[in-house]
Amino acid sequence: MTEAKTEKKPSGRNKIVIPKPYADIEAALEKEYNYCKLGPFQFIVEDLPEGEDDKEEKNNELKASARNLIASILQSEHLSLLVGNGLTIAINGVASKLTEKVNWSEKGLEYGDKVEKHAKELAKNRCKDSTGNSHKVTLEDSLQAAIKLINGLEVIEPNDAETWRQGIHKEINKLITGILGAEKEVNNERLELLTSFLLALANRPATRDRLNIFTTNYDRLIEYGCDKAGIRIMDRFLGSIEPTFNSTRLNLDMHYNPPGINEDPRYLHGVVRLTKLHGSLDWVAHKDRVTKAPVGFGDTSFKPKSEDNIMIYPNPSKDMDSIHYPYSELFRDLAAAICRPNSTLVVYGYGFGDEHVNRIIRDMLSIQSTHLLIIHHDEGPEDRGNLIKFVNSNYHSNQVNLMVGKELAEIETLVNDYLPSFPLDDLRNKANKIIEKTKLIDDDVKSNKANKMSDDGIECSGDEE
Listed residue (373, 235, 207) closest to 291, CA to CA: 235
Q: DSSP string spanning 318-336?
A: SSS-TTSTTHHHHHHHHHH
Listed residue (363, 309, 301) closest to 331, CA to CA: 363
Torsion sign (Cα): 410, 413, 414, 416: positive
Please tell me the distance from the alpha carbon of residue 31 to that of residue 20, in angstroms, as a whole number: 12
**Residues 6+ positions from 306 with CB-CB distance below 8 Å:** 169
Q: pLDDT per position in the chain (465 positions), as tens? A: 333 343 433 333 467 788 888 888 888 888 888 999 998 899 998 876 665 555 667 788 888 899 999 999 999 999 999 999 899 989 987 555 677 788 998 888 889 999 999 988 888 776 554 334 446 788 888 988 998 999 899 889 889 998 998 898 888 888 898 899 989 989 899 999 999 999 999 988 877 899 999 999 999 999 999 999 999 999 999 999 999 999 887 788 888 888 877 778 888 888 999 999 999 999 988 888 899 999 999 998 888 876 568 888 776 654 445 447 888 899 999 999 999 999 999 999 998 888 889 999 999 999 999 999 999 998 777 778 889 889 888 767 889 999 999 899 999 999 999 998 765 555 555 566 666 777 666 666 666 666 655 655 655 544 444
Break the chain into its structural domains and give their ranges. Answer: 1-76+376-421, 95-183, 426-465
Provide φ and ψ at 268, rounded to 5°.
-85, 125
What was the pLDDT predicted at 462?
A: 46
